């Protein structure tokens, strides 16, 4: 039986085993997918063990994505630019391919909700690992402009420079953003996790704006609640991105694209 695993620390909260089990059932794939707690500093040993005992592929979550990046013997372009790997696959020739499916997961979720990105103005709040992982897939959708803003401006500037060969991308200070020019606003900061707002002006929330919080939970996130109260036309949370990135990993491993909608509904139901 083909073996897959997700490595992380902590890992008990991971929904990946459930998501991939549902995908496997949906597409009639014979495979197992388990969660494995890895001690800090123990990623390489865990990955070596897994692949030498016949493991076919794994997901990697916090805090091992950078270690997985270094572990891979070959990288996809999007993983190279993300600087982090959330998916490894052992190829037939023994190469360990590292990919990052987070950004495509976000894009696919937006597409599924009929959110057009081509020609649109996107604001990305945050400049940490979560932001970096989604920039190339967002630029691939050919937005008119991608603006990165962050509490620490220099980090947004570094990302804008890194990605400038790939599309229209610029950095801006939080305080300089007061004109309501954005079509889609994506919050990649962890602020919602502590009930905080990322610090953008209320004026950016127009009646047509679509807001996306990469965080998710059983209740509406702090950022999305704020945006809804200010009249945003649509708010989406990161559960769809979670399922989307899993679908992309599954596709890389099995060559089949599972349906994300039904799985997202099931997750939403059990989280209530």
- Phi and psi of 145, rounded to 5°? -160, 135
Site map 135..164 versus ligand ATR, x via CB under 6 A: ---------------xxx--x---------
107 or 127: CB nearest ligand ATR: 127
Based on the shown chain and the rule CB under 6 A, indicate whether residue 201 belongs to the binding site for ligand ATR: no
| Tokens 């005992």 found at | 53
The dihedral of CA 258, 259, 260, 263: what is its sign? Answer: negative
Based on the shown chain and the rule CB under 6 A, indicate whether residue 247 belongs to the binding site for ligand ATR: no
The response to whether 238 counts as a known ligand-binding position is: yes
Residue of 198, 238, 244, 258 interacting with ligand ATR (CB under 6 A): 198
Tell me the HSE value of 76 on the side-chain side, using a 13 A CA sphere: 22
90 is known as an active-site residue: no
Q: What is the DSSP string of 97-165?
A: EEE--HHHHHHHHHHHTT---TT-EEEEE--SHHHHHHHHHHHHT--SEEEEEESSHHHHHHHHHHHGG
CB of 188 to ligand ATR, least distance (A): 6
The region of 14-22, 93-101, 184-192, 253-261 touching ligand ATR under the rule CB under 6 A is: 184-192
Residue of 14, 100, 189, 264 interacting with ligand ATR (CB under 6 A): 189
Give SS3 for 31: strand
The dihedral of CA 40, 86, 143, 191: what is its sign? Answer: negative
Residues at the interface with ligand ATR (CB under 6 A):
126-131, 150-152, 155, 188-191, 196, 198-199
- Annotated active-site positions, please? 65
Residue ranges for the known binding site for shikimate are 14-16, 61, 86, 102, 216, 245
């Amino acid at each position: 039986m083909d073996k897959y695993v997700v490595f992380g620390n902590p890992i008990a909260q991971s929904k990946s085993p459930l998501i991939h089990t549902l995908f496997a059932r949906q597409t009639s794939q014979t495979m197992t997918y388990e969660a494995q707690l890895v001690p800090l500093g123990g990623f390489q040993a865990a990955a070596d063990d897994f692949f030498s005992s016949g493991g076919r592929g794994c997901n990697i979550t916090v805090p091992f994505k950078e270690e997985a990046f270094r572990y891979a013997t070959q990288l996809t372009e999007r993983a190279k630019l993300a600087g982090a790997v959330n998916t490894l696959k052992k190829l037939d020739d023994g190469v360990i391919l590292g990919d990052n499916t987070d950004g495509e997961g976000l894009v696919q979720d937006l597409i599924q909700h009929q959110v057009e990105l081509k020609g649109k103005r996107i604001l990305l709040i945050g400049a940490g690992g979560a932001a970096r992982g989604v920039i190339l897939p967002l630029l691939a959708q050919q937005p008119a402009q991608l603006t990165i803003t962050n509490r620490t401006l220099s980090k947004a500037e570094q990302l804008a420079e890194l990605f400038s060969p790939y599309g229209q991308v610029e950095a801006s200070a939080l305080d300089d953003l007061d004109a309501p020019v954005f079509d889609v606003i994506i919050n990649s900061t962890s602020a919602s996790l502590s009930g905080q707002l990322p610090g953008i002006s209320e004026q950016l929330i127009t009646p047509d704006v679509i807001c996306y919080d990469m965080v998710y939970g059983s209740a509406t996130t702090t950022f999305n609640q704020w945006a809804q109260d200010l009249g945003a036309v649509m708010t989406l949370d990161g559960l769809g991105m979670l399922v989307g990135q899993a679908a992309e990993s599954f596709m890389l491993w099995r060559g089949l694209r599972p349906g994300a909608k039904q799985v997202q509904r099931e997750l939403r139901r059990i989280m209530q």
